[in-house]
Amino acid sequence: MRAWRVPAYGPFDEVLEVADVRRPEPGEGQTRVRVEAAALNFADILYCSGEYQDRIPPPFTPGLEVAGVTEDGRRVFGPVVMPHGGFAEEAVLSTTWPWPEGMTAAQAAGFFVAYQTGWCALHHRTTLSPGETLLVLAAAGGVGAAAVQLGRAAGARVIAVVGDEEKAAVARGLGADEVLVQPEDLVTAVRELTDGHGADVVYDPVGGDSFDAARRVVAWEGRLLVIGFAGGRIAHAPTNHALVKNYAVIGVHWAVYRQRAPELVAAWQRELEAWARRAIDPLVGAEYAFDDLPAALTELAARRTTGRVVLRAP
């Protein structure tokens, strides 16, 4: 079968290649599917370069989540079993959930990781309460878009931060109460919107300078959720500052729950049946042909995308 492969660590645009590989064989409790669509994640870029927290020895196929059809005809979605990732004709899933009626293949492919991460962050690592203010950085991206919708579903006031007017329109469409477009001074802008209170919860998938600003605008006894480092720089959190403001810096490494507490992942997915009430609606910003994976990852890396970016089946 055709699959994108990483034969050695390096920049994705240099090492990715299409190869003819053997079909992956499912182990006990696993399910092989014919891939209909596979969602891209920033982690795919880090896996290619060998910089992700959990390194996968080459050669491997990237792609963490797919929607597909089982050999007995069931439409399902879920996380893949590495090293046989989802950027291929077929993949093996560790767990599956029914592909909801009314969802496109692209939406189903991009449903799992982004919304699981958001639920874990907002309802497990902290508890976002109705009436609290949630500040979402990179709010028009895949992970950020899910957080905006989940924040609204929880009854929070959502302030979205985006990079341009096109992304601002996306954030408003997702339900954000206020949108800040690349503010020169994020701290002042958020304080003005909150009458000096700040954000009760900050959702930060960017890191770097954004984290530095976020910790200054988090409210007294607020929570700063560390989701990722798409900005490229891993920031430092001065402990004296956290002490003086009594706020918490909370790491959210969702993927590890699949090994340490899979029962929680299953429970969170049941909670995410909010899809049926249309309280959440996965946003797909772009779909790419199978052979265009490097171009799709280039757009994702440059942070020019909105919502989920999805690779169609070959």
Per-residue pLDDT for the chain (314 aa), expressed as one digit of tens each? 999 999 999 999 999 999 999 999 999 999 999 999 999 998 999 999 999 888 999 999 999 999 999 999 999 999 999 999 999 999 999 999 998 888 999 999 999 999 999 999 999 999 999 999 999 999 999 999 999 999 999 999 999 999 999 999 999 999 999 999 999 899 999 999 999 999 999 999 998 888 899 999 999 999 999 998 877 788 788 888 889 899 999 999 998 998 899 999 999 998 887 665 667 889 999 999 999 999 999 999 988 999 999 999 98
Task: Tell me the domain boundaries of the chain.
Answer: 2-111+282-312, 114-255
| Domain 114-255 sits in CATH 3.40.50.2300 | no
Q: With b meaning 16 or more CB within 10 Å and e meaning fewer, what string describes 124-147?
A: ebbebeeebbbbbbbbbbbbbbbb
Q: What is the pLDDT of residue 279?
A: 74
- 314 preceded by cis ω (within 30°)? no
Residues 308 and 146: their CA atoms lie apart, in Å, by 9
Among 3.60.21.10, 3.30.379.10, 3.90.180.10, 3.40.190.10, name the CATH number for the domain at 2-111+282-312.
3.90.180.10
Residue type, 95: T
Q: What is the pLDDT of residue 287?
A: 97
The answer to whether the beta carbons of residues 43 and 64 sit under 8 Å apart is: yes
Predicted TM-score (pTM) of the model is: 0.91
Q: What is the pLDDT of residue 281?
A: 87
Task: Give the bridge partners for 37, in sequence order.
Answer: 67, 312
Polymer length in residues for the chain:
314
Residues 210 and 313: their CA atoms lie apart, in Å, by 35
**Residue 248 burial by Cβ neighbours in a 10 Å radius (0-12, 13-18, 19+):** middle
